[in-house]
Structure 1
Amino acid sequence: MRIRSDIFVSALMRRVFSAGGFAAVEEKGAEEAGAVFIRQRLRDGTETVYAPAPQNFFEDEQKATERRFEKRLERVAPDVATELLARERRFDGDLWVIELETDGIEGLFAVVDPG
């Protein structure tokens, strides 16, 4: 069973704050099972967007309970990230968007390599 979205978001935000970064909920989605998108704002003014990883990255049942993300956009202008997230919102009104201001995401959440 996968952890609820609201609990995952709360834990993620605490990890970011404890690492010296900033985190905020930009868009609040369904508490139990809303998809979570992560918008990382970088110091150079660009943004990276992480989206829920496709189901084929969950080989076994134990890993299926863990939320994993894929890098959807990397170091793009803020308006490009905003446009992507607006399209995703039109498709799924229950999604979460979490904004992070941190240099690194290591140890904050799992990112899969599509290659």
Structure 2
Amino acid sequence: MSGARLASSVLVGALLQRTRAEGGFAVVLAKGDAKSGSVLVILLERGVRSSILERVLGPDGAYAWGGSGPKALGDEEEVQKFLARKRKFDPDLWIIELDVPSAERFTAEMNAMN
């Protein structure tokens, strides 16, 4: 069914479990609403931030992961300011950090989960 949405806590749990199963490291930085909170993923590969993704509803009614955050992902201060703004705007937002062996492949698999 197009537009069907997993409970946020289930989606976050699945992402954490998948990351750990692949030998990666996963942590919840901010816990949001268990049922309907938005989810933001900070994706790292070998400790280096590669992207920030948000799960968004597309015009076709399907959910997908899209790029988000500042352009300078290596600028820690800018990233922290961005995250603080997101949480201030949406206190129900989940923020998770996933350090995976292949960030590009993992992102493709995340989109396939939708």
Give the shorter-chain TM-score range: 0.7 to 0.9
Q: Does 1:17 align with 2:20?
A: yes
Task: Say if 1:49 and 1:81, in contact at 8 Å, map to a contact too.
Answer: no
The DSSP-based 3-state class of the residue aligned with 1:14 is: helix
Identify the residue that residue 70 of structure 1 maps to in structure 2: 66
1:40 to partner: Cα distance? 1.5
Normalised TM-score (structure 2): 0.77
Aligned residues: 104
Task: Say if 1:47 and 1:75, in contact at 8 Å, map to a contact too.
Answer: no
Point out where structure 2 has 5 or more consecutive residues left out of the alignment. Answer: none
CA gap of 1:101–1:48, structure 2 versus 1, over 3 A, is same
Give the Cα–Cα distance (whole angstroms) in 2 for the partners of residues 109 and 75 of structure 1: 23
Give the Cα–Cα distance (whole angstroms) in 2 for the partners of residues 75 and 100 of structure 1: 18
The DSSP-based 3-state class of the residue aligned with 1:110 is: helix
| 1:1-115 → structure 2 map (5 Å cutoff) | 1-43=4-46, 45-56=48-59, 59=60, 64=62, 67-73=63-69, 76-77=73-74, 78-105=76-103, 106-107=105-106, 108-110=109-111
Point out where structure 1 has 5 or more consecutive residues left out of the alignment. Answer: none
Normalised TM-score (structure 1): 0.76
Runs of 4+ aligned residues of structure 1 deviating over 3 Å after TM superposition are 42-47
Letter in 1 for 2:65: F
The DSSP-based 3-state class of the residue aligned with 1:53 is: strand
Q: Output the aligned Cα RMSD.
A: 2.2
Q: Percent of aligned positions with the same letter in both sequences?
A: 28
